[in-house]
Amino acid sequence: MQRKATLRTTPAKDQPLADPVRSRIVEGASQRFFTHGFRGVTMDDLAEELGMSKRTLYSRFDTKLQLLDSVLENKFRRAREDMSGILAARQDFPETLRQTLACVQRHTSEIQPPFTRDMRQEGPEVFQKVERLRRAAIQEHFGELMLRGRRAGFIRKDVPAPIIIEILLAAVQAIVNPARMDELGLTPKAGCGVITKIVLEGAIDPAARAHLKCLSEK
Amino acid sequence: MQRKATLRTTPAKDQPLADPVRSRIVEGASQRFFTHGFRGVTMDDLAEELGMSKRTLYSRFDTKLQLLDSVLENKFRRAREDMSGILAARQDFPETLRQTLACVQRHTSEIQPPFTRDMRQEGPEVFQKVERLRRAAIQEHFGELMLRGRRAGFIRKDVPAPIIIEILLAAVQAIVNPARMDELGLTPKAGCGVITKIVLEGAIDPAARAHLKCLSEK
DNA sequence: AACTCAAAATACTAATTTAGTTTCCATAGA
DNA sequence: TCTATGGAAACTAAATTAGTATTTTGAGTT
């Protein structure tokens, strides 16, 4: 079934500015690929579940891999849009951070293990594309976020921003799966609120912080 | 890959009372089958992800279908145990109901669309087995629950119990998926609390209920 | 009514994958 | 040293899948 990946950089078939069928296919494929894996979702499945024929799928995408390409670009475009929207809202820094983390969490949790596994198996090209898109998005948005945090006095200057970004992303990763959140009795919103709080204020109890301050001044 | 189903009623290979490897396989397969579908999880995948060889898988299960059989029986046994535990706890009826619904919701939400689709495609025998197990569990536990509710005065006598059970199960079904719950800002626990409240007290505002009572007495 | 077009449904085929089996190898324990 | 177990890898028959071709259907137009 799977051929070694050669993702083409040419666009899919002619795309009228808004081809609703094409969009539906990309969305439907997106949900299913990310949840159940690329391999696990056949073109027959997709056609049936979208209520159309395979012929229609192939009228807009030359190959399954080309569909995957569109799915990935769509996903990252949406993630970027969501994050840009958050930055554009001009809220205070802690709330902006919380929403950004919630956004990352939401997008990340949509991508489940079989998809990741399949991308690894599909070949280096595909995996590298995913990684490249991911890094670009993080750089663009977290970079701007850190700048704002610094200007607003929330982010300390003695620690390099990339390290703080890594800590934030690792914290999101740690609680990202639904079972974990269920276990913690958290909604995603609450989870990202907690991470924001801990990272900004630290995990030390405020009273204990005052005590520590006394000790270090002694 | 898939042969038409002929689930055997004979047990899998000799099962020492507690074969931890066998249990691991069943649990690992369970998670993956229910989430990503029977077809989408190959025996190669399973072996690799469990950190063992295919040879070991086949030392305990003759066929993939036999593994499925064990997965299903294990799943329903656990569901039954969970529900028996709730009934045995002898809490008040609303809390027992809430917990039962939460239990149903938890078990149901583990079973995702590709699994259901694959069971349909696998053949009538398998699908019927799933349905039979499901019905037996519901009858056993909700039946007892309704009896308790009636004795405690919570469940009206003018509506047949099976209808109330259907309403409850439908309500759980309606909010069972993670996206829906995220949207509603609910944890599973809270969701089942809400269903319990609505079903027991009705969806009408208490003040409005008093008003309605006046009107019907007029 | 006839015609056209788009898309569903179905059938088809080459390539690929998968379930299940076999063989080889390494390791631990007696 | 021998034995048993289980991982890794290779193998094979059967099944599946991606992609293509053909037929059918239904809606719209003339």
DSSP string, A171-215: HHHHH-SHHHHHHHT--HHHHHHHHHHHHHH-SS-HHHHHHHHHH
Q: What is the model's pLDDT at position A7?
A: 46
Which positions in chain A touch B186 (Cβ < 8 Å)? 187
A186 touches chain B (CB under 8 A): yes
Residue B59 has pLDDT above 80, yes or no: yes
Structural domains of chain A, with CATH: 20-217 (1.10.357.10)
Residue A215 has pLDDT above 60, yes or no: no
Question: A20 to chain B nearest CA, in Å?
Answer: 23
pLDDT in tens, A149-188: 888 777 777 777 777 787 788 777 777 666 666 667 777 7
Residue B27 has pLDDT above 90, yes or no: yes
CA of A59 to C1' of D21 (A): 14
Q: What is the model's pLDDT at position A10?
A: 41
Q: What region, left, alpha or beta, does residue B165 occupy, with left being phi > 0 and alpha being psi -120 to 50 degrees? A: alpha
| Cβ(A196)–Cβ(A171) below 8 Å | no
Percentage of residues of chain A with pLDDT beyond 90? 30
Task: Transcribe B124-147 into DSSP letters.
Answer: HHHHHHHHHHHHHHHHHHHHHHHH
Map residue B200 onto helix, strand or coil. Answer: helix
User: What is the rounded average pLDDT of the residues B180-200?
Assistant: 72
Between the CA of residue B182 and those of A5, A56, B179, B185, what are the distances in Å? Answer: 35, 33, 5, 5
| Cβ(A96)–Cβ(A86) below 8 Å | yes
Radius of gyration of chain B (CA): 21
User: What is the rounded average pLDDT of the residues B21-31?
Assistant: 93
Residue B64 has pLDDT above 90, yes or no: yes
> Among B36, B178, B185, whose Cβ lies nearest the Cβ of A36?
B36
Type of residue at B216: S
- Closest CA to D17 C1' — which residue? A1
**Residue located via tokens 């003759």:** B62
Residue A208 has pLDDT above 70, yes or no: no
CA B160 to chain centre: 23
User: Could you tell me the two tokens for A68?
Assistant: 């995957």
